[in-house]
Amino acid sequence: MKLPSHGSNPSYLYQAFEIPLPDKIIDFSVNLNPFGPPLKIKESWSAWLPLIEDYPDPHGTELIQLISETEGIDTENILLGNGAAELISLVLNYLAEKHIGIIQPAFSEYEKAARANRCHVTYIHLPKDNWSLDAETLSGKLDSLDALFFCNPNNPTGISYSSAILLDMLKVCEKHHCYLIIDEAFLDFLEDGQSLSHFITESNYLIILRSLTKMYAIAGLRLGFLMTNQKLLEKLQRMQPHWNVNALALEAGKAALKDKDYVYQTKLYVRKERERMIYELKHLGYQLSESKVNFYLLRDPSLHNQSPLIHYLMQKGIVPRHTENYPGLNGRWLRFAVRQQDDNNILLEALTAWKQES
Ligand SMILES: Cc1ncc(COP(=O)(O)O)c(C=O)c1O
């Protein structure tokens, strides 16, 4: 049975488990804003249509300017990508054949892109089921590495690490002449988001990745950006295809970044729903990760591998994200998105029934 390597597109998971696709499904396997794209994007869609007749701005100047203002970072330090996924591939293309460390568990595309670029991959595992991190322990593991990938807030655990820890990590990496690549695809969901973005000009070794597809629910459009020092950025830019970001994504990005209230309201709602779900689910006897974002890990401690629970939920049309391809988790956990209240209640009911029936 070959399981899909990502969340979303749930029909592939149904195929893999040989479960007939129910008429109605609720997809908890994809971690996007539960409210969908901001209203401005939906309302402007037809007005933007004429843009597809011409080539998009290859430099994305207006969007970069807006990111620069939002982040307080110079435009020369910002590079747009066709989703953060393109930027992960780009960085690993630049680091082809080098020694890459990945702090696990983490998003699977780091390893995939590293292997596609003939890199040597080393896993650095966070302690099982608590996923704490300290830079000192890391230090001994960096000797042979050229770059280290770290996802903060972490996908799949949802745990966020403080800027003090991140700064210690950066210092350790610099001492070892090792790039530190921090993927902040879910930073927008944190209420006290801590980023090292302001260190990019001082450091020769820091790269920060961001995605706009999560907070603004535009995964189908593809949009992300990278922040690093100007010298490295120019080298990366030369390796990118021209027109890598399409015209509609550029417009949507501009509209999204202007809608600060949407981000604020989303964070409040997601926190309330996440805290409610975690409280209720712990009460039912489930184990949960200490997530601070729009998804969390859950396991029924009476099962080693969670497959029976996946089957049970999928038959009811509830789609979790399996964790078979997350090194260190290996199917012992399931990941769920925080969705809107009605959907979360349906999940809660199903997980209550599972406990009563099993
Ligand atoms: C941690 C992480 N980084 C990057 C990405 C890719 O984001 P994008 O949709 O911007 O390519 C994902 C997508 O799931 C992700 O989970």
**What spacing in Å lies between the alpha carbon of 355 and ligand 1's midpoint?**
33
Residue 38 lies in a domain: no
- One-character DSSP codes across 273-298: HHHHHHHHHHHTT-EE----SSEEEE
pLDDT in tens, 254-313: 999 999 999 999 999 999 999 999 999 999 999 999 999 999 999 999 999 999 999 999
Q: The CATH number of the domain where 276 resides is what? A: 3.90.1150.10
Q: Is the pLDDT of residue 219 over 90?
A: yes
**What spacing in Å lies between the alpha carbon of 220 and ligand 1's midpoint?**
12
Q: The CATH number of the domain where 130 resides is what? A: 3.40.640.10
Residue 43 lies in a domain: no
Same domain, 24 and 171: no
**What spacing in Å lies between the alpha carbon of 358 and ligand 1's midpoint?**
35
Residue 283 lies in a domain: yes
Among 214, 221, 244, which residue has the most ligand 1 atoms within 8 Å of its CB, making it the best to mutate? 214
Contact 157, 127 (CB under 8 A): no
Same domain, 223 and 266: no
Of 196, 230, 258, the position where a domain reaches its end is: 258
Q: How far apart are CA 291 and CA 286, in angstroms?
A: 14
Q: Is the pLDDT of residue 66 over 90?
A: yes
Same domain, 240 and 296: no
Same domain, 309 and 341: yes
Q: Name every protein residue with a CB atom under 6 angstroms from any ligand 1 atom.
A: 83-85, 107, 151, 155, 183, 185, 211, 213, 219, 224
Q: How far apart are CA 319 and CA 24, in angstroms?
A: 11
Q: How far apart are CA 182 and CA 208, in angstroms?
A: 5
99-104 and 26-27 as β-strands: parallel, antiparallel, unpaired?
unpaired
Domain ranges, residue 335: 11-30+261-357
Q: Is 268 exposed, middle or buried (0-12, 13-18, 19+ CB in 10 A)?
A: exposed
Contact 285, 301 (CB under 8 A): yes
- State the closest ligand 1 atom to the C-alpha of 87, by its place in the atom list counted from 1: 11
Average pLDDT, the chain: 96
Q: What is the pLDDT at residue 125? A: 95
- State the closest ligand 1 atom to the C-alpha of 88, by its place in the atom list counted from 1: 4
Same domain, 240 and 252: yes
Same domain, 91 and 104: yes
Q: What is the pLDDT at residue 92? A: 98
Q: Is the pLDDT of residue 335 over 90?
A: yes
Q: Is the pLDDT of residue 1 over 80?
A: no
Among 33, 213, 293, which residue has the most ligand 1 atoms within 8 Å of its CB, making it the best to mutate? 213
Q: Is 133 exposed, middle or buried (0-12, 13-18, 19+ CB in 10 A)?
A: buried
Report how many helices (DSSP H) and strands (DSSP E) the chain contains, helices first.
Answer: 12, 13
Contact 14, 21 (CB under 8 A): yes
Of 242, 258, 274, the position where a domain reaches its end is: 258
Same domain, 100 and 247: yes
Residue 39 lies in a domain: no
Give mean pLDDT, residues 207-231. 98
Give mean pLDDT, residues 199-212. 97
pLDDT-derived band at 76 (thresholds 50, 70, 90) equals very high
Q: What is the pLDDT at residue 7? A: 84
**What spacing in Å lies between the alpha carbon of 111 and ligand 1's midpoint?**
13
**What spacing in Å lies between the alpha carbon of 255 and ligand 1's midpoint?**
20
Edge-first strand listing for the sheet containing 147-151: 78-81, 224-227, 206-211, 179-183, 147-151, 99-104, 120-125
Same domain, 152 and 22: no
pLDDT in tens, 113-172: 999 999 999 999 999 989 999 888 888 888 899 999 999 999 999 999 999 999 999 999
**What spacing in Å lies between the alpha carbon of 286 and ligand 1's midpoint?**
27
**What spacing in Å lies between the alpha carbon of 84 and ligand 1's midpoint?**
6
**What spacing in Å lies between the alpha carbon of 353 and ligand 1's midpoint?**
33
Q: What is the pLDDT at residue 9? A: 85
Q: How far apart are the first and last CA of the chain?
A: 25
- State the closest ligand 1 atom to the C-alpha of 7, by its place in the atom list counted from 1: 14
Q: What is the pLDDT at residue 317? A: 97
Residue 3 lies in a domain: no
Residue 268 lies in a domain: yes
- State the closest ligand 1 atom to the C-alpha of 219, by its place in the atom list counted from 1: 9
- State the closest ligand 1 atom to the C-alpha of 151, by its place in the atom list counted from 1: 1
Same domain, 276 and 295: yes
Same domain, 183 and 324: no
Same domain, 98 and 236: yes
Residue 23 lies in a domain: yes
Residue 335 lies in a domain: yes
Of 207, 232, 258, the position where a domain reaches its end is: 258
Give mean pLDDT, residues 329-350. 97
**What spacing in Å lies between the alpha carbon of 83 and ligand 1's midpoint?**
7
Number of domains in the chain: 2
- State the closest ligand 1 atom to the C-alpha of 214, by its place in the atom list counted from 1: 9
Q: Is the pLDDT of residue 200 over 90?
A: yes
Q: Is the pLDDT of residue 8 over 90?
A: no
Same domain, 227 and 345: no
